[in-house]
Amino acid sequence: MRNNLQLGTNMNLTHLDEQNKPKMVDVSNKDDTTRVAIASGIIEVTPEAFEAVVNNQTKKGPVLQTAVIAAIQGAKQTSSLIPMCHPLMLTSLKTDIEELPQVPGFKLTVQAKLTGKTGVEMEALTGVSVGLLTIYDMLKAIDKGMVIRDIQLEHKSGGKSGDFNR
């Protein structure tokens, strides 16, 4: 068994120990900084499903409001879902859902924030994923062919690695 998994230019993975066993990274020596991450994703739906959501005529209730709650809950549960994520004390979660009539579909954006030793990218990405899956769940009786796409990190700030902007 190889001691290190190498990517590209000899970059070692931080979630493996000297015996090549999985580990959660020790962040105890890192400085507390304000960290922000913004992620987004899109769900494409049929015109019929789009109109049902916009006109609040779905059988399962208010789709977009439920997706917002799900996105917040998903972000808060990230460390329970992603094995190497640290449990974090998030100080802020903001969501936005944009109607995309030309697609048709919806773009969900989640901003996660905290002051701490590790970033919140996974929380923002998980929030987007869970929120979009909630839209899918609530509309699947109308449209089984929905497509969830372009889940991505838009921005991150704070920490040693600095800022990232897509």
Catalytic residues: 137
SS (H, E, C) 34-102: EEEEEEEEEEECCHHHHHHHHCCCCCCCCHHHHHHHHHHHHHHCHHHHCCCCCCCCCCEEEEEEEEECC
**Cβ neighbours of residue 97 under 8 Å, at least 6 residues apart?**
64, 67, 68, 106, 107, 108, 109, 131
Q: Which two tokens stand for residue 31?
A: 């400085």
Query: CA-to-CA distance for 155 and 153, rounded, in angstroms?
Result: 6
